[in-house]
Amino acid sequence: MKKLTKDLEKLGIVNVAEIHRNLTPSELIEHALKRGEGTLSDTGALVVTTGKYTGRSPKDKYIVDTASIHDKIAWGNVNKPIEKEKFNSIYNKLIAYLQNREIFIFDGMAGADPTCRRKFRIINERASQNLFIHQLLIRPTEEELNDYGHADFTIIAAPGFKCNAKIDGINSSAAIIINYEARVGIICGTEYSGEIKKSVFSIMNFVMPEIDVLPMHCSANMDPRTGQTAVFFGLSGTGKTTLSTDPNRKLIGDDEHGWSDHSIFNFEGGCYAKCINLDPEHEPDIFNAIKFGSLVENVVMNPKTRELDFYDKSLTENTRVGYPINHIKNAQIPGIGGIPNVVIFLTADAFGVLPPISRLSRDAAIYHFVTGFTSKLAGTERGITEPQPTFSTCFGEPFMPLDPLVYAEMLGKKIELHNTKVFLINTGWSGGPYGVGNRMNLKYTRAMVTAALNGELDEVEYRHDDIFNVEIPQYCPNVPSELLNPIDTWANKEAYGAAARKLAKMFRENFAEKYPNMPEHIVNAGPVFFE
C-alpha cells in the first residue's frame, strides 16, 4: 500500500478518505449498493442511470497539445487541442476534489497478447464505474497484480467533479481529456462509463502503431477447428455484432482489436453491448450475460419485480450493459487468434445500390477502410427525408488520433503480406432505396459471410462494377443469383443508375474533402462518378 500511496502522490492525489484497489466484483457491487449508486435486477445485474449524459460527449473531448505529439495528431473537429496550461488547471481542481473521498482503483491491462499489452490504472470516484472497467479490461492474475509495477497510463474518472466552462475555457461542465505526454487521462462531469472504455481505446490507437500493431474498431471470431480468424468492421446498425456472433465460431472480441505480426488480439476482457429491444431469441448471448457482475446502464426497471424493460427508451435509446467476456459461452479466452485470412467491411446502404457482397483489391480495401461508410435512414432524425451517407474514418473516427494514412498504410501492408481476402458486404437495401426496396434478408447475408470465410467465393466468376469499382461474384452458395447484381433487383434501371451515380459522387466528395493527401492510386480505387 505504501508504494500505491507514493504512486498516487506523484499524481498529486493525497489525503483521500480510503483507497480500494482491485476489489472483486462482489465487493464493488456491495460498495455501490451501500453508496446508493444502483440497484440489483431480478437476474443480479447492477442497474444504474447516468443522468444528463447517456452517451459519449464528443464536443467535450480534447487532446493536450504538447510539442512531443503535436505533429502526430490529426487535429480537427474530432481531435480538438487544449493548451497544457488549461489542462493543468482543470487537473489540479480535479485532484483537489478527490481529497477526503473514497477512491476505487483498478490496475489492469489492455491487450490479450502479452507481447503487445499495456498496463492501465483506472481511478474511480464511483464503485459502479470501477466495476464496469474491472469487467471491460483484462483482469490480472494475483501474480500479475503483485508484480504490476508502474502503469503505462492512468485514467481518473470523477463524474461528481463539474468543470466551469467559462473559467476553464472548454465547452461544458464535462471534460474528457488525454495528455499523451504525461500519460494521463481525465474524465469529469459525466457518469457514462463508455467514456472510460473509449479513452483506453483512443490511447491504444495512439501507442499501438509505434510497435507495428494495427489498432482496429472491429469484432473478430475464429474457426475452432482450423484456427482461422476473421475480422468484421462496421458502424452502428450494420450488423457487426450479429454477424460476428456465430455459434459455430469462437468470439475473440466484439469491439476493439490489434493486428500484430503474429496475431490478432482483443484489447479488452469484456463487452459493452447495446440493450435496446434486446430479444433473448435473436441475441441470447447478450441477454444471458445480464447477470450478477454485469453493469446495466439506463435500462428502465420495474421497481417491484426488478425486471428490465429492454423496449423502454424513455431514458435513452443508447441503453447498455457491460460484462466480462467469460459471460459468453463460446468466447475465445484469452482473446488471441492467428493472422486473419478474411476481413469483412459491413455497410447498411439505404440507397439500395451497393452490391450485397463484393471483393476488394488491396487499394480498394484501403479506400473503404479509410472511408467507413454506412447511411442514416429517413425518419431516424428530424429533418432527414431521404437516406444520408455517414462516413467515419477507419470505422472509428472519434477514437483515431493519428493521421488516417498511418492506419491505412498499415492495413495495406498487412493484407498484402498475409494475402488476406477483403470483402465489402451490404446489409442494407435491395431493389430500391429505403421505403421502396427491402432490407437484405439476414439469412442471405449470413450465407455470404459463411461463403467468404470458407473460401467458397475464391474460384467463382466475378463481374466488375464500373460505378463502385468493385468485383461482384456471380454465384454465392445459398443466395439467389438475381440478388447479387443490384441493378437486376430494381424495376427502374434508369433510377438505379441515377441513385448509384449520386452515391458514388458522395463518396468522392467526402474523400476529396477529408483526405486530400491520400495517394492517387488509393483515390482511384474508389467509386467512379460519371456525369
SS3 267: coil
DSSP 401-466: -B-HHHHHHHHHHHHHHTT-EEEEEE-SEESSSTTTSEEPPHHHHHHHHHHHHHTTTSSS-EEEET
Supply the pTM of this predicted model.
Answer: 0.93
Cα 292 off chain centre by: 24
DSSP 166-190: HHHTSSSS-EEEEETTTTEEEEES-
**Catalytic annotation present for 241:** yes
Q: Are residues 306 and 178 in the same domain?
A: no
Q: Are residues 306 and 228 in the same domain?
A: no
SS3 160: coil
Residue 392 lies in a domain: no
Q: Are residues 189 and 304 in the same domain?
A: no
Written as one letter, the residue type at 191 is E
Q: Are residues 520 and 485 in the same domain?
A: yes
**Catalytic annotation present for 240:** yes
Q: Are residues 178 and 283 in the same domain?
A: no
**Catalytic annotation present for 162:** no
Q: Residue 463 maps to which CATH number?
A: 3.90.228.20
Question: Which residue range(s) make up the domain with 245?
Answer: 215-259+339-373+408-524
Q: Residue 22 maps to which CATH number?
A: 3.40.449.10
Residue 494 lies in a domain: yes
**CA-based torsion, 1, 201, 175, 316: positive or negative:** negative
Residue 443 lies in a domain: yes
**Catalytic annotation present for 139:** no
Identify the pLDDT of residue 18. 95
| Residue ending a domain, choose from 173, 193, 212 | 212
**Catalytic annotation present for 236:** yes
For the chain, the farthest-separated pair of C-alpha atoms sits apart, in whole angstroms, at 75
Q: Are residues 176 and 311 in the same domain?
A: no
Rounded distance, CA 394 to CA 400, Å?
A: 8
Cα 95 off chain centre by: 29
Residue 55 lies in a domain: no
Domain count, the chain: 3
Catalytic residue among 236, 279, 380, 521: 236
**CA-based torsion, 350, 351, 356, 358: positive or negative:** negative
Q: Which long-range contacts (CB under 8 A, 24 or more apart) does 33-38 make?
A: 35/126, 35/127, 37/126, 37/127, 37/128, 38/128, 38/295
Q: Residue 315 maps to which CATH number?
A: 2.170.8.10
Residue carrying C-alpha cell 451497393: 354
**Catalytic annotation present for 418:** no
Identify the pLDDT of residue 242. 81
Written as one letter, the residue type at 76 is G
Condensed to tens digits (0 to 9), the pLDDT of residues 412-467 reads 999 999 999 999 999 999 999 988 999 999 999 999 999 999 999 999 999 999 99
Residue 399 lies in a domain: no
Rounded distance, CA 302 to CA 408, Å?
A: 47
* DSSP structure class, residue 300: E
* DSSP structure class, residue 485: S
Catalytic residue among 240, 249, 257, 327: 240
Catalytic residue among 41, 57, 154, 241: 241
**Catalytic annotation present for 249:** no
Q: Indicate the annotated binding residues.
A: 56, 192, 198, 217, 234-242, 255, 283, 320, 445
Q: Are residues 368 and 508 in the same domain?
A: yes
Q: Indicate the annotated binding residues for ATP.
A: 198, 217, 234-242, 283, 320, 445
Q: Indicate the annotated binding residues for substrate.
A: 56, 192, 198, 320
Identify the pLDDT of residue 283. 85
Identify the pLDDT of residue 380. 39
Closest CA to 407 of 195, 259, 231: 259
According to DSSP, the β-strands at 214-222 and 229-234 are: antiparallel
Closest CA to 150 of 112, 193, 107, 197: 107
CA 350 vs CA 367, 383, 429, 440: distances in Å:
20, 16, 5, 10
Closest CA to 357 of 370, 372, 347, 342: 347
**Per-residue pLDDT of the chain in tens (531 residues, 90 and over written 9):** 778 988 999 999 999 999 999 999 999 999 999 999 999 999 999 999 999 999 999 999 999 999 999 999 999 999 999 999 999 999 999 999 999 999 999 999 999 999 999 999 999 999 999 999 999 999 999 999 999 999 999 999 999 999 999 999 999 999 999 999 999 999 999 999 999 999 999 999 999 999 999 999 999 999 999 999 999 999 877 888 788 878 889 999 999 999 999 999 999 999 999 999 999 988 888 999 999 999 999 999 999 999 999 999 999 989 999 999 999 989 999 999 999 999 999 999 999 999 999 999 999 999 999 999 998 754 434 444 566 889 999 999 999 999 999 999 999 999 999 999 999 999 999 999 988 999 999 999 999 999 999 999 999 999 999 999 999 999 999 999 999 999 999 999 999 999 999 999 999 999 999 999 899 999 999 999 766
Cα 230 off chain centre by: 16
Q: Indicate the annotated binding residues for Mn(2+).
A: 198, 217, 255
Residue 200 lies in a domain: yes
Catalytic residue among 217, 257, 359, 421: 217
Residue 345 lies in a domain: yes
Mean pLDDT (the chain) is: 94
Q: Are residues 306 and 295 in the same domain?
A: yes
Q: Are residues 445 and 465 in the same domain?
A: yes
**Catalytic annotation present for 304:** no
Q: Are residues 293 and 436 in the same domain?
A: no
Identify the pLDDT of residue 245. 79
Q: Are residues 220 and 356 in the same domain?
A: yes
Identify the pLDDT of residue 347. 95
Rounded distance, CA 499 to CA 493, Å?
A: 10
Rounded distance, CA 25 to CA 416, Å?
A: 44
Q: Are residues 226 and 253 in the same domain?
A: yes
SS3 509: helix
Residue 395 lies in a domain: no
* DSSP structure class, residue 331: B
Contact indicator for 255, 219 with CB cutoff of 8 Å? yes
Identify the pLDDT of residue 248. 87
